[in-house]
Structure 1
Amino acid sequence: MGLVTLDHFAGCVGNAFDIDMGESSLPLTLSEARPLPETGFPGMRRSPFSLMFRSGSQIVLPQKLYRLKNATLGNLEIFLVPVARDKEGIVYQAIFN
């Protein structure tokens, strides 16, 4: 896919993404895709943005690079960090600089 941008994900808010767990997968929902403040520097290739994913599972996955699959975007490798937990599950964030 090359360099991903916020535009790639903006139309996928509310869509399912599956984390490849080897023998199984864990479903996530992209709950938010938003721009981040741009500090800017010469040669910057994309504007920074943040993605928030929600899992219905109470199991917290460690922060690391995960292979995700989405019907629209296909296969992606994204570094996810658990950032919140509530009664509905775990929220993970990915930041792209």
Structure 2
Amino acid sequence: MSEKLTREVFAGNVNTKFRIPMESSSEAVLELIEVVDTKATPRQQQFSLFFRGPLEYLLPQGTYHMEHEKMEALDLFIVPVGREQDGFRYEAVFNYVIEGS
């Protein structure tokens, strides 16, 4: 993976679909619905991604290979964090050391 997965990269892809190839079915589709800054320090960038998936299935906590039409394929560790009327909500957390700090 050559593209750095920064907050800005993901923020530019809010409201787009990420596809997860599945063994038991053709694919699971999650929509990136929000990028949230979390506690940052002068030496670290921290943010969370929130995805929405369908109510038909719940993906258990784990690492998933995701494909996107604009971004390179990536592996993300996601955790289900809630159920809403329009689908299950998942979170992925990022912590980066800021280079040169």
The TM-score range, normalised by the shorter chain, is 0.7 to 0.9
TM-score by length of 1: 0.85
Tell me the alpha carbon deviations over residues 53-92 of structure 1, each in whole angstroms, 9 at most, x when there is no partner: 0012332111000001111112110000000102211000
Match of 1:30 in 2: 32
1:14–1:29 Cα contact (<8 Å) kept: yes
- Give aligned-pair identity as a percent: 37
Q: Report runs of 4+ in structure 1 exceeding 2 Å deviation.
A: none
Cα distance in 2, alignment partners of residues 89 and 69 from structure 1: 20
Aligned length: 93
Where in structure 1 are there 5+ consecutive unaligned residues?
none
Cα distance in 2, alignment partners of residues 77 and 20 from structure 1: 12
Give the one of 52, 76, 79 matched to 2:77.
Answer: 79
Residue 16 (structure 1) aligned with residue 17 (structure 2): yes
1:58–1:90 Cα contact (<8 Å) kept: no
Cα distance in 2, alignment partners of residues 33 and 19 from structure 1: 19
Match of 1:57 in 2: 55
Cα distance in 2, alignment partners of residues 84 and 40 from structure 1: 31
Partner of 1:74, secondary structure, is: coil
Change (3 A) 1:66 1:38: same
Cα distance in 2, alignment partners of residues 93 and 27 from structure 1: 14
Where in structure 2 are there 5+ consecutive unaligned residues?
96-101
